[in-house]
Amino acid sequence: MPNKLRKVSRHLHLWISLSIFLPVIIVIGSGLLLQVKKEIDWIQPPTQKVNQTPLEEATDSSSTIISSQQILQAVQTVSNAQLTRWEDIDRLDIRPNKGIIKVRGNNHWEVQLNAYTGEVLQTAYRRTDTIESIHDGSWFFEGAKLYLFLPAALLLFVIWLTGIVMLFTTLKSKYRKKQARLQQSS
């Protein structure tokens, strides 16, 4: 029985591995990029630093976070970001303790502002969102996430299980052979 189980596991392992090769390589490659996104500025722009006193420690009116109108006006001055109206903006990431407002556009451009003065600190293209959509499969086509990458993940789990079966049946077989040799030599 263990030999038959090992043989079935080996065949399943081989054919499933070949069938999910491409989606798994994509997930692993993009996952590796996402793991180092904070270390590589090309993937995700670094958060700038502001020499302003954090909000809770400030006592003067210069430490008030700028208004939403001032945010929009500030990003409109950055021509390559092409953020001219609120519909162009995907989200705001407001970090009062760091004195930063990150404005992310639908076009993946990010503008970092001084939260107190509205000064543009940095403008950069943000690749993290694209890499995340490649990682989960949604970048390729509608339904790839659910109908290609999810089954590949489930089959990867099956490969892991068949690998465990092959490992244990091989170890069990080697143990039995070793025991048989020890008994023959005694």
Does residue 62 lie within any of the structural domains? yes
Shared domain for 120 and 55, answered yes or no, is: yes
Shared domain for 60 and 109, answered yes or no, is: yes
Q: What span, in angstroms and rounded, lies between the C-alpha atoms of 67 and 131?
A: 32
Shared domain for 52 and 117, answered yes or no, is: yes
Q: Structure tokens of 9? A: 């596991």
Does residue 26 lie within any of the structural domains? yes
Cross-strand partners of 110: 104, 124
Does residue 186 lie within any of the structural domains? no
DSSP state of 137: S
Around 90, how many Cα atoms within 13 Å sit in the side-chain half-sphere?
Answer: 13
- Determine the pLDDT at residue 53: 53
- Determine the pLDDT at residue 112: 96
DSSP state of 56: G
pLDDT tens-digit profile of 135-172? Answer: 999 999 999 999 999 999 999 999 999 889 889 988 98
- Determine the pLDDT at residue 113: 96
- Determine the pLDDT at residue 56: 47
Mean per-residue pLDDT over the chain, rounded: 89
Shared domain for 107 and 142, answered yes or no, is: no
Query: For residues 26 and 1, which has the higher predicted lDDT (pLDDT)?
Result: 26
In which domain, by residue range, is 72 found?
45-126
What CATH number is associated with residue 98?
3.10.450
Shared domain for 106 and 145, answered yes or no, is: no
Helix 150-185 to helix 21-35 angle (10° resolution) is 100
Q: Structure tokens of 159? A: 């490969």
Shared domain for 85 and 109, answered yes or no, is: yes
- Determine the pLDDT at residue 54: 52
In terms of pTM, does the model score above 0.95? Answer: no
Q: What span, in angstroms and rounded, lies between the C-alpha atoms of 176 and 181?
A: 9
